[in-house]
Chains A and B, each alone.
Chain A
Amino acid sequence: MQWISRQSYFLDYALSSLLRRKWKNFSLIFIYGLIIFMISSVLFFSEAIRKEAEFILEDAPPMIVQRILAGRHELIPETYMTQIQEIRGIYKVTPRLWGYYYHPASKANYTIMVGNNGPQNDDEITIGNGVLRTWGTISDNQLFFKAYDGETIVLNITDTLDASAELVSSDLILVSESTFRRLFGVPEGFSTDFEVHIRNLSECPVIADKIVRILPDTRPILKEEIERTYASLFDWRSGYIIVLLSGAVLAFFIFAWDKATGLSAEEKAEIGILKALGWDTSDILLLKFWEGIAICFTAFVPAVIGAYIHIFLASAPLFEHALKGWSILYPEFQLNPHINAYQLGVVFALTVLPYTLITIIPAWRVSTTDPDTVMRQF
């Protein structure tokens, strides 16, 4: 009980001490909060986007087979399906039709594909939320497309896609097979690629080898390879931002160190008075610890909430281009919140602990001198 009471006295004194130097501490909290906001934003963003990718890949087939011509992805003849299906271990091969459509009015690329749950009629489409937000020329629930040969095709929106995986569904437009072929000029008997379903997933690499041996102009892509690519891509991107931010973080700590080591004459005198009144070094350090904690949390909590709003409600306008895109034309989308204790722990460890330490050291240096010495200097 006495311990709690003692802590509450020190905390009370620490808060009163901070309020007495409110302008100095306000500027410190503002800059500190800004750094925490940036770091949190990067971590929240990269984690959320990684989760989105994981979510998307959950239902992905274990293998995709594409045809490669002169090192580039080419339409694959559906006759290849028969040869692939004959390989032992494969129980289903499904052709896929997908491609990108550039819409000049919205200056964005959209993904168009033929989906299993897509529209049945040729004049109907199902679209993602991002399409609704960005297309810009929707009238009477109709979208106008220009086909490969210049013909205008008018399609009716009949449904929108679930927003739970916006990373993929945001820019997605589902069409019927014949509409797709008419829009892009893909001839009958050809697909974009194949989904290959395998009974025993551990055999995927062996089956991939067999496919390449039978059909040397194909490239099997395993689900785990895509997962690895996504993970390294987002790790690299968030690392890139953190490297850029590290300069700002360093500048902050130099600023904080300067503030902290440059204890004002008034602060030094106050420490001397407290020591003369019977406080010992550990009491002073405890006081400075509480001051540090108060500053950290005053900066930390609003900064983390701000980062949450920035990333999940405002679509990360500050660095979406650096982190999101394969293409700057990629339409806007909103991420679903994914925050865990580990992320918050990382932000805490990167920001709060170093600050608390660097502010305690100068206080310790002053508080270990005799109170008489400290007081005679002023």
Chain B
Amino acid sequence: MIELKQITKIFNEGKSNEFTALRDIELTLSPEKLTVFKGPSGSGKTTLLSIIGCMSRPTSGRILMNDREITSLPERFTAEIRRHTFGFIFQNYNLIKGMTVLENTMIPAYPEGPDYQGLKKRALDLLQRLGIDSKTNQKVEYLSGGEQQRAAIARALINNPSCIIADEPTAHLDTDLALALVDIMADFKKEGKTILIASHDPLIFEATAVDRIITLRDGAVIDQGNVS
């Protein structure tokens, strides 16, 4: 369970270009559910996901994860939380060019120093499950958009996180690939993972697997409700 209490995020505070991205957000995110954050560009979806995922700190407010306050934890603890709890799928995939699909998939596990063979097997299993095992040794820049997306998903799952955070995951995908992604997310939800997706793609928030849609506008939650 993730609780956000009066979360506010201000960029460039005190400067002439000060910008309030989030205002007094109050949310409780249940585990093992697929939640979609919906809203136009600039509504604060990505900022909210990055705060939930410990990638940035709120200007004010508190975040509780399973009743444990994580807002003011030192950087090394938040990095550990990112590594173990969250798996990130970015809008632009953010795969590291020049490295193979397999290497990209294994990167999040490096700081743990796991046994190489075990890690490789885990990565290969994920790539096989996502249907890109034939591209294992190919450099990521030579993959299609859909393949890059899948490589990014495999990377997000390598540390077996309990929560997957995806920021506009269908932004660069055609309809078929977007639907396939929704299916993959639905499968992960069935396995007990919490899924948080920021999107303004109807394909996503109209999907049957979605449990809850939270609508943001100008940095504030304007609607939140469970999907029947």
Which residues of A come within 8 Å of B, CB atoms? 2-10, 13, 16, 19-20, 266, 269-270, 273-283, 368, 370-373, 375
Contacts A16-B99, A372-B55, A375-B94; A277 near B113 (Cβ below 8 A): no
CB of B190 closer than 8 Å to a CB of A: no
A6 near B103 with CB under 8 A, answer: no
CB distance from B61 to the nearest CB of A (A): 16
A279 near B111 with CB under 8 A, answer: yes
Q: How many A-B residue pairs have CB under 8 A?
A: 90
A278 near B111 with CB under 8 A, answer: yes
CB of B45 closer than 8 Å to a CB of A: no
CB of B145 closer than 8 Å to a CB of A: no
CB distance from B176 to the nearest CB of A (A): 27
The residue that B112 contacts in the complex, of A6, A13, A266, A282, with Cβ under 8 A, is: A6
CB distance from B171 to the nearest CB of A (A): 15
Chain A residues near B113 (CB, 8 Å)? 2-7, 9
CB distance from A29 to the nearest CB of B (A): 18
CB distance from B120 to the nearest CB of A (A): 12
CB distance from A361 to the nearest CB of B (A): 18
| A9–B96 CA distance with the chains assembled, in angstroms | 16
Chain B residues near A280 (CB, 8 Å)? 75-76, 79-80, 111
Which residues of chain B (76-101) have a CB below 8 Å from chain A? 76, 79-80, 82-84, 86, 88, 90, 94, 96-99
Which residues of B come within 8 Å of A, CB atoms? 47, 50, 53, 55-57, 75-76, 79-80, 82-84, 86, 88, 90, 94, 96-99, 103, 107-108, 110-116, 155, 159
| A283–B112 CA distance with the chains assembled, in angstroms | 10
A13 near B110 with CB under 8 A, answer: yes
| A277–B112 CA distance with the chains assembled, in angstroms | 12
Chain A residues near B88 (CB, 8 Å)? 276-277
Closest residue of B by beta carbon distance from A21: B98
A279 near B79 with CB under 8 A, answer: yes
A20 near B98 with CB under 8 A, answer: yes
Residue from B56, B88, B159 with most neighbouring chain A CB atoms (10 Å): B56
CB distance from A269 to the nearest CB of B (A): 8
Contacts A5-B116, A20-B97, A20-B98; A279 near B110 (Cβ below 8 A): yes
A278 near B80 with CB under 8 A, answer: yes
A276 near B55 with CB under 8 A, answer: yes
| A20–B116 CA distance with the chains assembled, in angstroms | 22
| A9–B123 CA distance with the chains assembled, in angstroms | 15
Q: Which 5 A-B pairs have the closest CB atoms?
A: A278-B83, A6-B113, A280-B79, A372-B56, A20-B98
The residue that B159 contacts in the complex, of A19, A275, A278, with Cβ under 8 A, is: A278
Chain B residues near A270 (CB, 8 Å)? 96
A–B complex contacts, Cβ < 8 Å, 19 sampled = A2-B113, A5-B113, A6-B111, A7-B113, A10-B110, A269-B94, A273-B94, A273-B96, A275-B79, A276-B90, A278-B84, A279-B108, A280-B76, A280-B80, A280-B111, A281-B75, A371-B56, A372-B47, A375-B94
Chain B residues near A3 (CB, 8 Å)? 113
| A279–B80 CA distance with the chains assembled, in angstroms | 8
Q: A2-B114, A276-B55, A371-B55 known; 14 other A-B pairs, CB under 8 Å?
A: A5-B114, A9-B110, A13-B110, A19-B98, A20-B99, A270-B96, A274-B107, A277-B88, A277-B107, A279-B83, A280-B76, A280-B79, A371-B50, A375-B94
| A283–B111 CA distance with the chains assembled, in angstroms | 7
Closest residue of A by beta carbon distance from B99: A16
CB distance from A200 to the nearest CB of B (A): 67
Chain B residues near A281 (CB, 8 Å)? 75-76, 79
A278 near B82 with CB under 8 A, answer: yes
The residue that A276 contacts in the complex, of B84, B94, B112, B159, with Cβ under 8 A, is: B94
B76 near A372 with CB under 8 A, answer: no
CB distance from B73 to the nearest CB of A (A): 11
| A276–B56 CA distance with the chains assembled, in angstroms | 10
CB distance from A19 to the nearest CB of B (A): 8
| A329–B108 CA distance with the chains assembled, in angstroms | 66
